[in-house]
Amino acid sequence: MKADILRLLLQSHANGDETSFRKAALQLAASESAAGHVRVAEDIRAIIAKLPATSVRRTGPVVDIAAPRGELADVLEGGHRDERLRDIVLRAEVRDLLLRVLSENRSRGRLERFGVSPRRRLLFHGAPGCGKTLAAAVLAGEMGLPLMTVRFDALFSRFLGATAVQLRAIFAEMPRRPGVYLFDEFDSVAKARGDSQDVGEMNRVVTAFLQLVDADASGSILVAATNHVELLDRAVFRRFDVIVPFDKPSREQLVALLQLRLGTLGLDEQQAQRLAGSAEGWSFADVARACDDAVRTMALDDRERISERDVVAALAELKRRELPTRN
Ligand SMILES: Nc1ncnc2c1ncn2[C@@H]1O[C@H](COP(=O)(O)OP(=O)(O)OP(=O)(O)O)[C@@H](O)[C@H]1O
Ligand SMILES: [Mg+2]
């Protein structure tokens, strides 16, 4: 492992690749601290801190490509989003809360004049298929920022030894590339902490995450999403400015979802009301999928308006299959 890092260090220096050089040096520091050589690790980090800032900006106009490249591309996926608030069904309080967060972030300057900053660390929690990932995309779409999704699965399985280093690289990206940073399936940190053989490594990851959150002054919005809020430590909780619950849809919300999805294809409110009755108990994602199925039937039939029957059939199919998200 160390030989690999040293090779990378020398190679990147030889290539004049500042970014990889910095990354390799950080990995070296991490591996030293993992080996208990805390002093050496600190020295290395101090040297890195004194390195001149990377010269990306000097190479010409900054091209705003949302998708990260290089090593980071494995753990961070990015893209611009078209989703807007009108595309998501939310409880009134949750909608108001998100609207408020959006206006705070749009009025950053005004807030800062009075010594406060916008709330930008959000924890989304709730059942699967109820809009956590979608809401993060909506925030990005509304702010005109890319949604940068951190792939925790890749972070853990591929680079276990260097997970904290990868996390650092992601946080280093935040000031450089303003965006909505979504730490999806965030509970995997906590879960892995519980059942990994290497408890020391996971504790280091959590500690690194908390320190990085504390130190982050990027202005980027950070969203952590989880189905298992009960697995999170108090220490983790405290880092978030806003905690947003995403519940299974109420009957009213099912009506709203059906109208959102099928209203333009002729589904009226009464039909939506009736259909919502048979959709009760399912998640938004399940019902959205049934709506798509109904549209497929309509299209294959060469019609341009949806019939209530198409949706009834799609919902029945959903029940027959008893998708695993139902609980
Ligand atoms: N509140 C909602 N309003 C409208 N559509 C929704 C809502 N929630 C989910 N959907 C639909 O279901 C799809 C999947 O939802 P999403 O990925 O946001 O769920 P999630 O809460 O992130 O689930 P998981 O916990 O499994 O990651 C969305 O892309 C959208 O089509
Ligand atoms: Mg999700």
Task: Delineate the domains of the chain, giving CATH numbers in brackets.
Answer: 2-57 (no CATH), 66-246 (3.40.50.300), 251-321 (1.10.8)
Whole-number pLDDT of residue 196: 53
Cβ contact 79:146 at 8 Å: yes
Whole-number pLDDT of residue 166: 84
Mutation to probe ligand 1, out of 84, 85, 95, 134 (largest number of atoms < 8 A from CB): 134
Mutation to probe ligand 1, out of 130, 182, 248, 258 (largest number of atoms < 8 A from CB): 130
**What distance in Å separates the CA atoms of residue 212 and residue 206, rounded to the nearest whole number?**
10
Nearest atom of ligand 1 to the alpha carbon of 325? 26
Cβ contact 41:25 at 8 Å: no
Query: Distance, CA 204 to ligand 1 centroid (Å)?
Result: 32
**pTM > 0.85: yes or no:** no
* Residue 227: CB atoms within 10 Å: 17
The DSSP 8-state label assigned to residue 89 in this structure reads -
Cβ contact 131:249 at 8 Å: no
Q: Which two tokens stand for residue 178?
A: 């303003």
Whole-number pLDDT of residue 159: 53
Whole-number pLDDT of residue 233: 79
Half-sphere exposure at residue 260, Cβ-oriented, CA atoms within 13 angstroms: 18
| Nearest-CA residue for atom 25 of ligand 1 | 128
Cβ contact 313:297 at 8 Å: yes
Contacts from 209-212 at CB under 8 Å and sequence distance 24+?
209/167, 209/236, 210/235, 210/236, 210/239, 212/167, 212/168, 212/171
Cβ contact 298:265 at 8 Å: yes
Angle at 133 between CA 214 and CA 255, to 5 degrees: 135
Q: Give the type of residue at 295.
A: V
Q: Give the type of residue at 307.
A: S
Whole-number pLDDT of residue 63: 38
Q: How far is CA 94 from CA 120, 222, 241, in A?
A: 15, 17, 14
Nearest atom of ligand 1 to the alpha carbon of 127? 25
Sites in the chain below the pLDDT cut of 70: 1, 33-34, 38, 52-71, 157-161, 189-202, 323-327
Angle at 165 between CA 164 and CA 166, to 5 degrees: 90
Cβ contact 289:272 at 8 Å: no
Nearest atom of ligand 1 to the alpha carbon of 90? 1
**Is the beta carbon of 88 within 6 A of some atom in ligand 1?**
yes
Closest CA to 243 of 270, 217, 224: 224
Whole-number pLDDT of residue 58: 35
Q: What percent of the chain has pLDDT over 90?
A: 54
For 105-171, the DSSP string reads: HHTHHHHHHTT-----EEEEEESTTSSHHHHHHHHHHHHT--EEEE-HHHHHHH-GGGHHHHHHHHH
Q: Which two tokens stand for residue 205?
A: 């990851």
Q: Which two tokens stand for residue 121?
A: 């660390």
Cβ contact 228:190 at 8 Å: yes
**Is the beta carbon of 26 within 6 A of some atom in ligand 1?**
no
